[in-house]
Structure 1
Amino acid sequence: MMKWLRRLVRLELVLIFLVILAGSVVRMTGSGMGCPDWPKCFGYMIPPTEEAQVLWAPEKQYHEGQMIVHEEAMWSANADFTSGAEYNAANWTKYTKHDYAIFNSTHTWVEYINRLLGAASGIPMFLLFVLSLKYLKSKPLYTLLATAGLFLLGFEAWLGKEVVDGNLIPGQITYHMLGAFLIVIVLVIFLKRLNQNPRQSLPLSRWYMFAALLLMLIQVVLGTQVREQVDMLTKQFGEGASREGWIDQIDVLIYIHRSASLAVTGFIIYLWWVLRKNGKSRRYLNAALMMVLASTASGAILFYFDLPKFLQPVHLLLSAGIVATLTWGWVRRPKTA
């Protein structure tokens, strides 16, 4: 049973990393409203591939809940019906949760793939919860962690709906991203507790690692806030617009984020150096060092070279990896007798 728990936790971690990557690609491409309703997409379980599918047409069969773009608004079919020669407003109800009414097939499918990955991540998480119930009395922490993961995943799904209904409300996007990182932390703690290797002594208090983890999470929040301002500039100037000079239009938060990144990098280098000095090199801290250096380098390129789009998902994925490795170092199993 333990073997299956470990497999499910690892699978769930992979899926959550893919969800984080897909979410960043959604924002990079401006596809957040590619599916303007939730949980379906334009009222379809499998979204449309061409604009004709979301426009009104005569003598066409429509199904209840199916959505169309008409007169710069979105409309939902009241029931199953076949349209006549002219548009009949009585067959439709205006969608009023937001005023977004644009169809872009690329955006739609980018967002749909993101949703599919999110839905897929729910399967191993639910199985983890079910299997953990066997250990409710003997190892209640397993059940607690599985419950926390399932709750956070459900919260993420609900918040995703709220983000879409509100046409990408800025503050909620930050909470959405932070929730994904919290799931990573819960899963890494779970995997560490399932690890059968005893704890080895280290010349560092676990609270040093916790401090590094906390600093990294603060960086994630700051970075997401900066990214929200980039999203607003993208809406203002258009997706294909040159990003030259955008850095100057972002408030002081970007400079705080840049300076804090140096603090995080310095702290992790210090932790790595202390372990190396004492002959206690650990793979997780080596990995954290490599990723934080790569993250700092990508952040510098984003800052000094007009925010190249392709680096945004890379930068975020590196942050998720750093959080995972620092969590692994922070959580230590009790020593065996």
Structure 2
Amino acid sequence: MHHTTLAQMAITALIVALLPLSIAWISKDASRYRKLVWIGVFLTFDLIVFGAFTRLTDSGLGCPDWPGCYGLANPFLAHEEIRAAEALQPTGPVTMVKAWIEMIHRYLAMAIGILIVAMMAVAWYRWKKGRQAAYRPGYPTFLFFFVCLQGAFGAWTVTLKLQPVIVTMHLLLGMGLLALLTWYGGRQDQLLRPASAVVPPARLVPVRRLALASSAVLLVQLFLGGWVSTNYATLACTEFPLCGGKLVPEMDFEHGFHLWRELGKTAAGHYLPFSALTAIHWVHRNFASVVVLVLGWTVVRAWPIAPLRPLARAIAAVLALQALTGVATIYLNYPLLLAVLHNAGAAALVLLLTMLNYRAKFLHDAPAAHR
């Protein structure tokens, strides 16, 4: 790719990033840096939802190279190449609409990368000046390397032609970035507004353990959900709670859960049998009951603790919404809006569980910090 194209893309991403950077700069918040972190959380959540929209509209190869579009900075400049590809295959994978969806996703991702670079730069600068706890540079530096890894998987998603394990890892890393930024935001909140409520540590220990268990269970379900989506197995079962008229349908776990293979193919290069897609869908569907039970019990234990009650209430609401949208996508034959909402609900659970984990830890550690 020509260096002029890279410069044009960098300038576009910087323009996208200037709005959130300006919001943080002119903010009357007691800590502009804290504001910047939470803007990063907000945009990362948006990126995950838009990434789901990109995947669900089959726009992941809207521009079949990376980082540009046919070696150019945007679909306007690649108009001829896109129209030629669209003429050969009118329904995709390359169309003008899909190219724009894919490039908007990339620009938003690059803008978030710029925000994290800004966090890291400010942290190092302020740390060298005053050694303030809010600006310890280790965490934002780790975020920088993490977002670079996420960017690498974004590139491999395109260059390896939507290989399911790569796309699923790209999704999990996006959720991981959301969790890391949320944790960092919680730390900034704690430094700005120390806890006033005192909760006996003995009441918090079981909630902390359950919150960690809930995060682990949710991570497994995120992988399974990503595996369903990247293998296009959402409609492998079109009824609920049965699948193909049976509680336990015919399933091919060996091919369905073989990780390193091409999209729609077995490891040997043959077409993936429908029973493999059924296995992928069925495991995700049934593991959802484990998620509901574990997260539901976490909500029950956290609810009586006043500082944790708002988070418990929000988790309960999102969990119910997830169950509703998950079943509705089956009965309504996979409408796009519901599928995007289901992905947004998963991201919301990641955000809320991270906040619950941090809040429970902070409240548990607060009495020791005051001794």
**Kept after mapping to 2: 8 A contact 1:156/1:180:** yes
| Segment drifting more, 263-272 vs 311-320 | 263-272
Q: Distance in 2 between matches of 1:302 and 1:69?
A: 31
**Equivalent residue, structure 1, for 2:12:** none
Q: Distance in 1 between matches of 2:348 and 2:274?
A: 26
Q: Does 1:104 align with 2:95?
A: yes
**Kept after mapping to 2: 8 A contact 1:291/1:318:** yes
- SS of residue paired to 1:252: helix
Map 1:90-239 to 2 at 5 A: 103-133=94-124, 134-135=126-127, 139=133, 142-195=136-189, 196-198=193-195, 200-201=198-199, 203-205=203-205, 206-230=208-232
Unaligned runs of 5+ residues in structure 2 are 1-28, 237-262, 265-272
Map 1:251-330 to 2 at 5 A: 251-277=278-304, 282-330=309-357
Using the size of structure 2 for normalisation, the TM-score is: 0.70
Map 1:65-80 to 2 at 5 A: none
- SS of residue paired to 1:128: helix
Q: Does 1:23 align with 2:51?
A: yes
The one-letter amino acid paired with 1:253 is I
Using the size of structure 1 for normalisation, the TM-score is: 0.76
The one-letter amino acid paired with 1:207 is R
CA distance 1:233–1:256, change in 2 (3 Å):
closer
**Equivalent residue, structure 2, for 1:97:** none
**Kept after mapping to 1: 8 A contact 2:315/2:352:** yes
Higher strand share: 1
Q: Distance in 2 between matches of 1:50 and 1:8?
A: 34
Q: Distance in 2 between matches of 1:222 and 1:247?
A: 17
The one-letter amino acid paired with 2:317 is M
Q: CA deviation at 1:186?
A: 0.8
Q: CA deviation at 1:308?
A: 2.5
Q: Give CA deviations for 1:90-149 in whole Å, capped at 9, x if unaligned.
A: xxxxxxxxxxx9641011111111111111111211111112223375549842221222
Q: Distance in 2 between matches of 1:49 and 1:105?
A: 11
Q: CA deviation at 1:37?
A: 1.3
The one-letter amino acid paired with 1:222 is L
Q: Does 1:6 align with 2:34?
A: yes
The one-letter amino acid paired with 1:191 is G
Q: Distance in 1 between matches of 2:276 and 2:220?
A: 22
- SS of residue paired to 1:282: helix
Q: Distance in 2 between matches of 1:112 and 1:167?
A: 16
CA distance 1:110–1:285, change in 2 (3 Å):
same
The one-letter amino acid paired with 2:65 is D
CA distance 1:323–1:69, change in 2 (3 Å):
closer
Q: Give CA deviations for 1:38-96 in whole Å, capped at 9, x if unaligned.
A: 111122212138854557xxxxxxxxxxxx759979xxxxxxxxxxxxxxxxxxxxxxx
Q: CA deviation at 1:200?
A: 4.2
Q: Distance in 1 between matches of 2:78 and 2:281?
A: 39
The one-letter amino acid paired with 1:123 is I
Q: Give CA deviations for 1:157-202 in whole Å, capped at 9, x if unaligned.
A: 1111111111111110011001011111111111111122327426
**Kept after mapping to 2: 8 A contact 1:37/1:164:** yes
Map 1:25-64 to 2 at 5 A: 25-48=53-76, 52=80, 54=82
| Segment drifting more, 150-159 vs 297-306 | 297-306
Matched-pair identity in %: 21
Unaligned runs of 5+ residues in structure 1 are 56-67, 74-100, 237-245
**Equivalent residue, structure 1, for 2:3:** none
CA distance 1:305–1:70, change in 2 (3 Å):
closer
Q: Distance in 2 between matches of 1:329 and 1:42?
A: 44
Q: Give CA deviations for 1:7-37 in whole Å, capped at 9, x if unaligned.
A: 1111111111111111111111111111111
**Kept after mapping to 2: 8 A contact 1:50/1:105:** no
Runs of 4+ residues over 6 Å off in structure 1: 70-73, 231-236, 246-249
Q: Distance in 2 between matches of 1:108 and 1:121?
A: 20
Q: CA RMSD in A?
A: 3.2
**Kept after mapping to 1: 8 A contact 2:235/2:333:** no
